[in-house]
Amino acid sequence: MKKQTHGKMLEILKTAQAEKKARGGRENKLSIENKLLMALEYLREYRTYFHIGQNYGVSESYAYKVIRWVENTLIKSGIFNLPGRKALLKSDVEYNVVLVDASETPIQRPKKTALFLLRQEEETYVKKPNCCR
């Protein structure tokens, strides 16, 4: 990634962070640079939030929140969003389209029979007191 683009991303995120923290709140666990790096790792390697969180010493849910915040902030800036479909159709640039089929494969499982569906749990055994000893 070019240094200019990296600098623009950091500038946008720092501005958004300053606006967010102007209202108060907790201190951040991660620096802006680490948040950006976390989001870029996710987009580049498509690793799980759990593994990214482990690398940065944060929880899976916090990693998710950080990555979503970085993505949304950069998209809202208007600099890092893709053109819409109408803009692409109006341009003279010729695009090659690649489709990836990510279809699901069904898992074979045993059929649920009527006996299984209607089966009731057996009553638990309760020992009756010996009254006639």
Q: What is the pLDDT of residue 64?
A: 92
Q: What is the residue extent of each domain of the chain?
A: 31-83
pTM here is: 0.58
pLDDT at 1 over 50: no
| DSSP for 4-26, written as a single string | HHHHHHHHHHHHHHHHHHTT--P
Banded model confidence at residue 100, pLDDT cuts 50, 70, 90:
confident
Q: How confident is the model at residue 133 (pLDDT cuts 50, 70, 90)?
A: low
Q: Which distant-in-sequence residues (6+ apart) come within 8 Å of 110 by Cβ?
A: none
CA atoms within 13 A on the CB side of 47: 18
Pairwise CA distance, residues 14 & 25, whole Å:
16
